[in-house]
Amino acid sequence: MKQGYFITGTDTNVGKTWVTLALMTYFKQKKLSVMGMKPVASGCENMNNLWRNADALAIRQYNSLLVDYDLINPYAYERPISPHLAGKANPVNLELVCSHFHTLQTMADVVIVEGAGGWYAPLNDTQTIADLAQVLQLPIILVVSIKLGCINHAQLTFEAIENAKLSCVGWIAVCNDETFDCIASTVDSLRERLSTPLLGVLPYLDEANFDYLAAKIHF
C-alpha cells in the first residue's frame, strides 16, 4: 500500500527539511523505497543558469531513485521571500504540483512532501500551503521548533489543520535553538495540549546526522 506524508511547520526555518530527510532515512531503514518532494522553494542559487534550492537538492540526493530536479521542485524562486511575492512571473499552479506528486507515487512506497513556510504561507495570489495540503490529501506531520512562543504557534497551527478536516497523524519536536533551556518542560506542555502523538524529539546538532535523527523517530 502506498504511503505519503505532508510536512508542515509552525513557521519558516523550524526544521522541516531535517525532519523530511530524517523521515526518508527512517523509511529506508524499514526497507521501503522513498521519494521526497519540495514543490515550492524560495531562496535559490544559480547553477548553470538554472535556479536550484539547497534543501531540494538534499531531498533529491536522499531519494531512492535519481529523478530530474524539476520533478521534485517545480517552483524554484531566486529570492528568499514568500512564494507569492517571489513567484510573480511564474506563480504556483497546484495542478502541476499534483501531477508531479502522482508521478513520484508510481516510483516509491512512500512519498514525503515538504511544505514551504507555515500553514498559511501564501503560494500565489489566492492559495496557501493549506490549499496544497487539501489538494494532496496526505496525512500531515507538524514540525514544531522548540523555543519561546512555540506552544502558541503549535496550537494555532494544529487547530487550523483540524479545522481544514485534514488528518494530523503526529508532531515532531525539533531542538534547533541550543540556548533554549526549557526543552523537556516545553515538550511536555505540548504533549498535554496537542491531541496527536509525539513522533519524536530531534536534538540539537551542529552538523546533520540523519541516521542518528531517524533513530529518534517513532511511529
Residues with a catalytic annotation lie at 38
Cα separation, 119 vs 129, in Å, equals: 5
3-state SS, 4-40, equals EEEEEECCCCCCHHHHHHHHHHHHHHCCCCEEEECCE
Amino acid (1-letter code) at residue 156: L
Phi/psi at 5 (5° precision): -145, 145
CA distance 63 to 67: 8
Residue 43 phi/psi, 5-degree rounding, is: 100, 80
